[in-house]
Amino acid sequence: MIKAIFFDFGGTLFDFYPSNYQILGSLARRYGIDLLDTDNILSKAFQKQEEYLMEIFQEREKTEISILTKQDWNNCDQILLDTIGVKKKQALPDLFDKFQQRMFKFQIYPDTIPTLKYLKKKGFFLGIISNLNKMSQISLRYKRLEEYNILNLWDVITLSGEIGISKPHPEIFLKSLEKLNGITPNQSIYVGDSYIFDVLGARKAGMIPVLLDSNLGKDYDCLKISSFQDLIPLISKLNNEEILS
């Protein structure tokens, strides 16, 4: 029986803009790179980045070190630049800055608030588990939740910068569950847009991972939804109930 639903923040509850693809594509054009098959090349670049991140977390799986360093992110960005063929040294700090600036630009998905209020009304515990390390970013997240009048909906908010552990380490998920006395991992869903950070992390903690993928693209080995509205019938199915009404 599902009793608690946890969410990632950026890319799940809120949409960052511009997108990763837009940032990388724009930077390629800025440095004179004409991507003939843009979507395919950008997809390949982010796939290589994902593989690198997977290697990092597999190496650190037996340690308590999970927060990615600036060097880790620089390596990720360098993989993107190498894949699209940008060789200029200045491109690396440019790309890093663009991604950092984007962390302060986000808007809520249109179906987020109605779905959250509906689930809360039905008695589900709601939580946020997100990788945020800078206090400026953390304070802005709380501010946005207040602005949209949904801060009071959350029973648990766990941010990596506040506890020193990041997704996909299972401990950040388990520490969130501890705040809900009596709720076990298999009674909890975790919804996120990243297979590595969200799906793998939640699964290792014993939660049921759900990947939010608006395109329902790559064939990942997990439950997938294309929008928040899909959560309601999914939870009903997992609980062997009629559609929540």
Which among 187, 109, 193, 178 has a CA at the least distance from the CA of 144?
109
- In this predicted model, which residue has the larger pLDDT, 120 or 43? 120
Work out the average pLDDT over 189-205: 94
Does any domain span residue 137? Answer: yes
Is there a single domain that holds both residue 61 and residue 154? no
Residue showing tokens 């991140």:
53
Is there a single domain that holds both residue 76 and residue 115? no
Q: CA-CA distance, 19 to 24, in Å (whole number)? A: 9
Which among 216, 195, 235 has a CA at the least distance from the CA of 4?
235
% of the chain with per-residue pLDDT over 70:
94
CATH number of the CATH domain containing 162:
3.40.50.1000
Specify the pLDDT at position 136: 73
Work out the average pLDDT over 109-123: 94
- Residue 206's φ and ψ, nearest 5 degrees, are 95, 5
Does any domain span residue 244? Answer: no
Is there a single domain that holds both residue 88 and residue 170? no
Specify the pLDDT at position 215: 66
Is the separation of the CB atoms in 174 and 205 below 8 Å?
yes
List, for residues 22-78, the tens digit of each pLDDT value: 899 999 999 988 887 888 888 899 889 988 988 888 877 666 556 678 898 899 999
Range of the domain at 40: 19-102
Is there a single domain that holds both residue 57 and residue 170? no
- Residue 7's φ and ψ, nearest 5 degrees, are -135, 150
3-state secondary structure of 208: strand
Is there a single domain that holds both residue 9 and residue 24? no
Is there a single domain that holds both residue 92 and residue 200? no
Does any domain span residue 243? Answer: no
Is there a single domain that holds both residue 87 and residue 166? no
Residue showing tokens 């609980």:
239
Single out the residue in 59, 84, 102 at which a domain terminates. 102
Specify the pLDDT at position 64: 58
Q: CA-CA distance, 229 to 232, in Å (whole number)? A: 6
Dihedral sign, Cα of residue 159, residue 163, residue 169, residue 171: negative
CA angle 194, 79, 100 (to 5 degrees): 60
| Helix/strand/coil (H/E/C) assignment for every residue in 102-168 | HCCCEEECCCHHHHHHHHHHCCCEEEEEECCCCHHHHHHHHHHHHHCCCHHHCCEEEEHHHHCCCCC
Q: Which two tokens stand for residue 85?
A: 């063929």
Spatial CB neighbours of 189, under 8 Å, sequence gap ≥ 6: 2, 4, 5, 6, 207, 208, 209, 210, 235, 238
Single out the residue in 102, 117, 144 at which a domain terminates. 102
Structure confidence at residue 242 as a pLDDT band (50, 70, 90): low
Average pLDDT for the chain: 88
Is there a single domain that holds both residue 127 and residue 179? yes
Does any domain span residue 180? Answer: yes
Does any domain span residue 141? Answer: yes
Is there a single domain that holds both residue 78 and residue 177? no
Specify the pLDDT at position 69: 81
Q: CA-CA distance, 163 to 181, in Å (whole number)? A: 19
The structural domain count of the chain equals: 2
Q: CA-CA distance, 158 to 6, in Å (whole number)? A: 10
Single out the residue in 75, 102, 129 at which a domain terminates. 102
Is the separation of the CB atoms in 125 and 184 below 8 Å?
no
Is there a single domain that holds both residue 61 and residue 145? no
Is there a single domain that holds both residue 187 and residue 162? yes
Specify the pLDDT at position 62: 62
Is there a single domain that holds both residue 111 and residue 98? no
